[in-house]
Amino acid sequence: MDTQTVLDRACEHAALGPRGANPLVGAVLVEHSTGRNATGYHRGRGTAHAEVDAIRNAQAANLELAQCTLYVTLEPCAHHGVTPPCTQAILQVGIRHVVYAVPDPTPTASGGAHTLRTAGVDVTHVPHRPSQVLNDRWLVAQHGGRPFITAKIAQSLDGYVAAADGTSQWITGDAARAHAHTLRHTVDAIAVGTGTLLHDDPTLTARATSDGPQPLRVHIGLTPTPDTAKVRGDGNFLHLMTRNPTEVAHTLATRGIRHLLIEGGPTLIGAFLQANLVDVLQVYTAPLLLGAGTSSANLPQVTTLAHGLRLTPDPTTQPQWLGTDLLTHYIPSAHVQSTSHNTTAAHASGESHV
């Protein structure tokens, strides 16, 4: 197989991983003499990186690693994070040839290619457009110095998160709400606007399992957080008195937040969408028609069809039925121009309930 074909395969495996704080990365090890190969991919924070996963699979298949070339969609990391650096694993098993598609832009993890070359490994950068496109939004977040941001909506079939009288519990069913709590366990922080906070008094905890730390609970808006608000909980709480999504994103980044979940309401979600700060939009749609009510996203600057925010279905994630509700994922274009970085981000009229 030629290099582009092997990188295509690595990219296909990368797409099996979850989007979030870490990029989607895939790897293929090819044995020179036989053409036999082994693949790997990253399954999310705390799991083996794609290179290590491929190495383990190659060892299980008895490939001669010193006679293999490692193809990987992203430059191998060179730092100690939750897991050891991939460069260390590559050197330990004697791999002498590495091809990577996209340079790692992160200050802490970049430099792997230099580390390997210094150790005598033949390292080649071969640009590969599918690998670049796969992580477009993650790369946007990295270059912007902000967290990867997921926004979540739970809506009726006609796009409402609450009925005309304000009732919203519950639009979606048990399976969708349970799934939403598994999402909460993958993020570092969960944010709501003032409207949601006052109307629903949410706890913003991840209740699917007791394992692991709870995400930081964030209130975004100018109104003081009531002393009795459930989000205050055990003190793992932050009130950001601003309506500027860009300011929010950068402030959270300085606190070490790498993956932020926007829970609601429509004004907050709309503000982040219009500022081009949503990297994945996760939508739970119930087979329910309300006819009127609170729209799932407040986009005051969209006044004509041409101004609408067009999204792309995430090619890495298939639509999923959760009971009678349908879960879909969408990605904004990495190159969408922000309509405003000062769009109102508080006083949302209701939360996206699941």
51 is catalytic: yes
Q: Is-contact 337 253, C-beta < 8 A?
A: no
- Residue 10's contacts (CB-CB under 8 Å, 6 or more residues apart) are 26, 27, 28, 39, 50, 71, 72, 73, 101, 131
Q: Extract the tokens encoding 333.
A: 């274009």
Helices (H), 97-135: 112-118, 129-134
- Residue 282's contacts (CB-CB under 8 Å, 6 or more residues apart) are 150, 151, 152, 153, 183, 327, 328, 329
Gap between the Cα atoms of 202 and 196, Å rounded = 8
Q: Extract the tokens encoding 27.
A: 């790897």
Residue at 321: amino acid letter: W
Q: Is-contact 44 22, C-beta < 8 A?
A: yes
Please identify which of the residues 51, 75, 263, 351 carries the catalytic annotation: 51
Calculate the alpha carbon distances from 301 to 193, 196, 248, 344 in Å: 19, 21, 21, 11
Gap between the Cα atoms of 61 and 58, Å rounded = 5
- Say how far residue 45 (Cα) sits from the centre of its chain: 11
Q: Is-contact 173 325, C-beta < 8 A?
A: yes
Residues annotated as catalytic (active site), given as ranges:
51
